[in-house]
Amino acid sequence: MDQLAAKEANTAKLPPPDVLAPVQEMVRACIQCGTCSASCPNEFAMDHTPRKLWRMVLMGLKDQIFQSKTFSLCSNCYYCTLRCPRGLPLTEAMDALKQIAAREHLAKYRQSTLFYKNFLRSVRRHGRVNEMEFMAFYFAALRNPFFPLRFAPLGARLMLKRKVSVAVPLTARRPLEAIFRKVETLEDRP
Amino acid sequence: MKYHYYPGCSLEGTAREYDLSTRAVMTSMGAQLMEIEDWACCGAGAAETISYLLSLALPARNLAIAEKQEDGRDILVPCSACYLNLKKVEEKTRREPELLDTLNSILAEDHLQLNRSVHVRHLLDILANDLGADAFRPKVKNVFQNFRIAPYYGCQCLRPYAVFDDPETPYTMEPLIEATGAQIHPWNLGGKCCGASHMNTDMDVNLELVTAILRGAKGADAIVTVCPMCQMNLEAYQQKISRRCNEDLHMTVLYLPQLIGLALGLSKQDLGLNLNLSITKRFRATLHF
């Protein structure tokens, strides 16, 4: 049983086969010029360049794409979208890959997925994000007791300035509940 | 001059001084800001990583509420991330009418409807184009003579939609800064990326980007920003970065309306100057007005 669980954790569940189709549609006209790679501020930290990633998308190399950190390192600066000579929505294509990774709960992207999901969890509860609550959700979900230490000095400074407060509103008014629900229905998500 | 006002979540928390200084400067210039009633989160950088529809439905709700309020056609948005999210709805529904129908089917759950009758504007656009440097110049009481200011625009007020500035070589802040009497720090990092929320998920990568920006600003007296995310990334990790590269990269970082407000003679309290995380002793000492 333990072995099975370990195996499952190692081989992160891969998305179903047609999941790349909408992303392929977005980058179909890519001419592999590399303007995106040359414009990307985070390219230095990526295992595959953006140019290569688009080729991998068109070739349907799902396993490699969802083993790569490239799309999760996109910081949405929109330089590639602005400069792409084919006018492709490259930043949105990066987002589309992030959405697949989040939907499929891929272990490799656990940290950034948990960050954004917990942000939205706080938004769903209160309508506006409560920065302290959301970071607490995020740290709790990561289950790494040392990780929050990186943010402790900043948290303390922000509290001293009364920019964040540990007092989270007790009653969740949920003004966005209807919108969240309807989106889930339309996207056929539970 | 009347504007709908969408502060966004950061301006109620970590960027309170951006809210204070925006209101103070706009009011002192005779503009009226009408905060959108019951506004909610625009989805920030989070919704677009989880759901495409949600990333448009959340900002659409705020636009629909603004439409119901009387007066004012323009929504003033100081946060660049909020600005882009709201702007995206405006731009995309113009090009894709069927998207407008989908969004309205979602908004109907909240008894709202989007008619595309309001216009999303960034604070910088309004300061530079509705007011303009010429409007500020005669009102300047404290001249920032011998100050050198590095204008930092970040990404999302410039790209992907080139609405009011050059998305490659931005310049709209320059006349505003010069109106305060300060000089422009010559650099080409004004439109580069601060790393955004990578600070929370890939800190080491993000610190590289911020290091390059702080290094490029050396020689300036301050960096001015127009986005809470840029501001936080540039001001909050300076000690960590200075220690990492064994180089003093401490630098004053102000919001643009804080600089303008100081020049206009508004009080440091009204501009929330006590809330900034990085104002160097040297910079404070020179602010003797």
Classify domain B135-286 by CATH architecture: 3-Layer(aba) Sandwich (3.40)
Residue type, B10: S
Give the residue with greater pLDDT, B203 vs A133: B203
Residue of chain A nearest B229, judged by CA positions: A75
Give mean pLDDT, residues A89-93.
98
Question: What does the block give as tokens for B272?
Answer: 């929330």
Task: Test B50 with A129 for CB contact under 8 angstroms.
Answer: no
Instruction: Count residue pairs from A and B with Cβ separation < 8 A.
Output: 161
Q: Please state, in angstroms and rounded to a whole number, the distance separating the CA atoms of residues A68 and A47.
A: 6
Greater model confidence, A3 or A31 = A31
- pLDDT surpassing 60 at residue B234: yes
CA distance A114 to chain B (A): 9
Report the pLDDT value the prediction gives residue A188, as an integer from 0 to 100: 83
Q: Which long-range contacts (CB under 8 A, 24 or more apart) does B158-163 make?
A: B158/A78, B158/B191, B159/A77, B159/A78, B159/A79, B159/A81, B159/A82, B159/B191, B160/A78, B160/A81, B160/A82, B160/A91, B161/B84, B161/B87, B161/B91, B162/A82, B163/B87, B163/B122, B163/B125
Place B170 in a pLDDT band, splitting at 50, 70 and 90: very high
**Sequence-distant (≥ 6) Cβ neighbours of residue A122 within 8 angstroms:** A129, A130, A133, A134, A137
Q: Could you tell me what percent of chain B has a pLDDT over 90?
A: 97
Could you give the CA distance from residue B227 to residue B232 in angstroms, rounded to a whole number?
9
- Domain ranges for chain A, please list them: 14-104, 109-186
Q: What is the CATH number of domain B2-124?
A: 1.20.1050.140
pLDDT for A1:
45
How far, CA to CA in Å, does B133 sit from each of A111, B56, B74, B148? 44, 34, 20, 17
Domain layout of chain B by residue ranges: 2-124, 135-286
**Mean pLDDT rounded to a whole number for chain B:** 96
Q: Which CATH superfamily is domain A14-104 in?
A: Alpha-helical ferredoxin (1.10.1060.10)
On chain A, the residues whose CB falls within 8 A of the CB of B40 are 123, 127-128, 175-176
pLDDT of B72 > 90? The answer is no
pLDDT at A184 over 70: yes
Q: Which of B181, B6, B191 is nearest to B85 (CA)?
A: B6
What is the per-residue pLDDT for B287? 81
Confidence of residue A4 (pLDDT cuts 50, 70, 90): low
Q: Tokens 């989106």 belong to which residue?
A: A183
Q: Using the beta-carbon criterion (under 8 Å), do A180 and B110 form an inter-chain contact? A: no
Mean pLDDT of A147-156: 90
Mean pLDDT over B210-223 rounds to 98
Mean pLDDT of A49-53: 98
Q: Which of B35, B53, B54, B165 to mutate to test the interface with A (most CBs of A within 10 A)?
A: B54
Q: Is the pLDDT of residue A165 over 90?
A: no
Q: How many helices (H) and strands (E) does chain B have?
A: 14, 8
Residues 102-161 of A with CB under 8 A from B: 102, 111-113, 115-117, 119-120, 123, 127-131, 138, 150-151, 154, 157-158, 161
Res. A7 pLDDT band, cuts 50 70 90: low
Calculate how close chain B gets to A1, using CA atoms only, in Å: 32
